A and B are shown apart, each in its own frame.
Chain A
Amino acid sequence: MDLSFTDEEVAFQSEVREFLEANLSADVKDRYSRGIHFSKEAQERWQRVLNDKGWLAPNWPVEYGGTGWTATQKYIFAQEMGRASAPPPMPFGVSMVAPVIYTFGNQEQKDYYLPRILKSEDWWCQGYSEPGSGSDLASLKTKAVRDGDDYIVNGQKIWTSHAQHANLIFCLVRTDGDVKAQEGISFLLIDMNTPGITLKPIIGLDKEHTLNEVFFDDVRVPISNRIGEENKGWTYAKFLLGNERTSIARIAQSKLRCEHLREVAAAERVNGGLLQDDIDFMRKLNQIEVDLMALEYTELRMLSKIEHGETLTAEPSLLKIKGSEIQQRLTELLVESLGMYGAAYEALEVREGRNDQNFAPDYAHGPMAEHLYLRAATIYGGSNEIQRNIISKMVLGL
């Protein structure tokens, strides 16, 4: 057991830090540090910078464009990204569908899709949930029926984040309705521009357009767009969800929020002093920092296990539960730090500029939007109730 970094690791840390300082543009940093939704143009621009350096997909195997870093280096990189307020790449391509493609896809699929993800040429979205299938994902009804070399897909997906920006969707579809729900699912890659696909925006609590409904009406999808075997899609889907739960903990970003909260507490005035002198407030912030530290070391312990060739069972569920709860507590506290100015919020899309009219400090713009949006953190990626079921079943055998 050893917590310290080697000289090489320290040098690597400086390299990452210097690179981010030199290459992260101010507009990207500003949006991300405020918790405001990204713009597609800026996100793409930033992803290209990372990819030019070869750092877009550290977790991928080297042969597909990964970095070959040790777990410690990956950890250092994630920490430095967080510290610099650098947004991670959009997860749908890099950390969700790509591992499915390089693990279960055929050579042709790997050769075509993986480079395009690295170059940000494709934007992916995730076609999992349906109106009747949320927590009970395996009950999904979107149907794919064979017709020559194609599947004909009919049905509906919902809560599809950022689908309006995507040109590709990875989809779970039912290819066999006569077997146990989990055994009749296939995993398809679908071009969003195929005739028969329509999008309907869902405006969120934060009045932003993040979510969508996606409708499939006799959509022709080549059978060659299927990943792996027919009716084995549930295996690939679960593999993907396991990856999603790890990245969803967003520990580095939460650390950044803690730091930001300390800055706000040093600026907000109360009773002639500063908020940082308020014992009740600081106690809450300190408690979150301690919880976050525990989560960080839990993650490191898990990474060490992986490094030593052990396989994880339900540990990612723990990261997801604790990580999402901490994110929510942080944004709640950030809103609280603003006093009544926390309530002054309306999305730009509703009435541009109206919320810029008050005299609130600059840091007051953003926290409420993030607070509202992150109520979803305990819902998406498998709700926290479902994650607890997973731990109870897989770890505790209950």
Chain B
Amino acid sequence: MDFELSEEQVLLKDSIDRFVKDNYGPEDRIKLSQTELGFSRDHWKTMAELGWLGMAFSEEAGGFGGGAVETMIMMESMGRGLVLEPFVSTVLLGGALVAEAGNADQIEAIIPEIIEGNLMMSFGYAEAQSRFNLNDVETTASKSGDGYILNGTKAVVYHGGTADKIVISARTSGASRDADGISLFIVDSNAAGLDIRSYATVDGQRAADVRLENVTVPASALIGAEGVASPVIEKVIDGAIGAICAEAVGAMAAANEITNEYLKTRKQFGTAIGKFQVLQHRMVDMYMEAEQSKSMSDMVAMKLDLGYADDTRKAVSAAKAQIGKSAKFVGQQSVQLHGGMGMTDEYSIGHFFKRLTTIEMLFGNTDFHLNRFSNL
């Protein structure tokens, strides 16, 4: 057993830390999040050049064969700067689905393009009625000639507005919420019948609602076999949960550093407010939440690298439940301890709070994962 990083992993961490330091100062991030695109294509190119977009893909697919631990390292460092580029959507969702279940042609056509930084992806899995149940799919795909016709609406598809290709989960058979009968399709963002409505999310990112009206795709758009995508989706989402848990750990660490520094410098009643015991204990609680979260994030990354079993799923939900709770506490209390300063949009702490708030909801909130943990 060993929780220390290897030399190579330290180098990876250092390079992302440097990128974040150089490009993601609080003002840079605010400016970038308010552009129409919501992130930087130049940063995306840098990420490709530095090999980060290929880290999670196998060497056969053209990647560097990194595992969940490498993803955890990258996401934790990105979390410290609240990086906006669609890394999770492209690499860990869209790309991972293709890598996990796609055929050789699909892998060859898509993965190298992602790694080069030429192709962005996203994953439309949720629907208005589905909440966090991945099998609650009412979007349909019916066979038509050599291909399929897709109909339905996907809700809050992160980076759906900037993706070149969107993977859509659709029902080819079975009733709503059946695990059987769900299939995955790769849909070009310019396909006829696709209505993509992009909007801003509270964490400074972009999401889209995607309506499919008689969207025709060829048979070659189907990822894996028909009707058996449910376990693939669950596995890929679980990997992404591990990643955003690490992102939350980075964001909490940064929020705690900023808040701790504020407690040392802000003076009231003739002394630094950090001298007041009630605030000291609050800060200690925030520190403990962040440490507990780091432990869960490391644990889940190492478990994911050991293979994917029931025990892994349970660990993923445990980590998400812990980190959801901690993220809320640390985010909210960071604002509280900053007083009025915490309420301003130009100061960084509020942005950590807002991202931590959405991470708690993303891929299932705390209640959802506590239930999943108890049912598995």
Contacts and interface: CB of A to CB of B under 8 A. Distances in A.
A111 B133 CA distance: 64
A357 B199 contact: yes
Given A203-B346, A357-B197, A372-B202, A135 B269 contact: yes
A359 B339 contact: no
Interface string B218-251: 0000000000000000000000000000000000
Interface of A: 129, 132-136, 139, 158-159, 202-205, 207, 211, 268-272, 280-281, 332, 335-336, 339-346, 350-351, 354-355, 357-361, 368, 372, 375-376, 378-380, 383, 385, 388
11 contacts: A132-B267, A133-B268, A211-B344, A269-B131, A272-B136, A272-B176, A332-B328, A343-B362, A355-B199, A359-B211, A385-B276
Contacts of A269: 128-129, 131
A272 B138 CA distance: 11
A14 B269 CA distance: 50
Contacts of A281: 367
Given A271-B177, A375-B335, A383-B339, 19 more contacts: A139-B268, A139-B270, A205-B350, A211-B343, A268-B131, A269-B131, A270-B133, A272-B176, A339-B132, A340-B361, A344-B156, A346-B199, A346-B200, A350-B34, A355-B199, A357-B197, A375-B342, A383-B336, A385-B278
Nearest to B282: A385
Interface residues on B, range: 35 or more
A276 to B, nearest CB: 13
A190 B365 CA distance: 49
A340 B362 contact: yes
Given A134-B268, A281-B367, A270 B131 contact: yes
Contact of A343 (B197, B203, B270, B353): B203
A340 to B, nearest CB: 4
A340 B367 contact: no
A344 B279 CA distance: 33
Contacts, number: 148
B349 to A, nearest CB: 9
Interface of B: 34, 126, 128-129, 131-133, 136, 153, 155-156, 176-177, 197-203, 207-209, 211, 267-270, 273, 276, 278-279, 328, 332, 335-336, 339-340, 342-346, 350, 353-354, 357-358, 361-362, 365, 367, 370-371
Contacts of A350: 34, 200
B354 A134 contact: no
A357 B198 contact: yes
B131, B176, B202, B211: which has the most chain A beta carbons within 10 Å? B202
Given A344-B156, A351-B200, A358 B269 contact: no
B275 to A, nearest CB: 13
Given A136-B269, A357-B197, A340 B156 contact: yes
B280 to A, nearest CB: 12
B365 to A, nearest CB: 6
Contact of B279 (A139, A280, A379, A385): A385
A211 B207 contact: no
B236 to A, nearest CB: 17
Given A202-B344, A211-B340, A280-B367, A359 B202 contact: no
B267 to A, nearest CB: 7
Given A269-B129, A336-B365, A379 B200 contact: no
Contact of A271 (B126, B131, B153): B131
A340 B268 contact: no
B342 A379 contact: yes
Given A343-B361, A359-B197, A372 B340 contact: no
Contact of A358 (B202, B203, B209): B209
Nearest to B359: A343
B354 to A, nearest CB: 7
A337 to B, nearest CB: 10
Contacts of B208: 358
B201 A205 contact: no
Contact of A372 (B156, B339, B354): B354
Contacts of B126: 339-340
A388 B362 CA distance: 35
A343 B339 contact: no
A343 B367 contact: no
A182 to B, nearest CB: 12
Contacts of B358: 343
A351 B201 CA distance: 12
A359 B345 contact: no
Contacts of B328: 332
A221 B344 CA distance: 31
B255 to A, nearest CB: 14
Contact of A205 (B267, B269, B353): B353
A359 B128 contact: yes
Contacts of A344: 156, 199-202, 207
B1 to A, nearest CB: 35
A134 B337 CA distance: 12
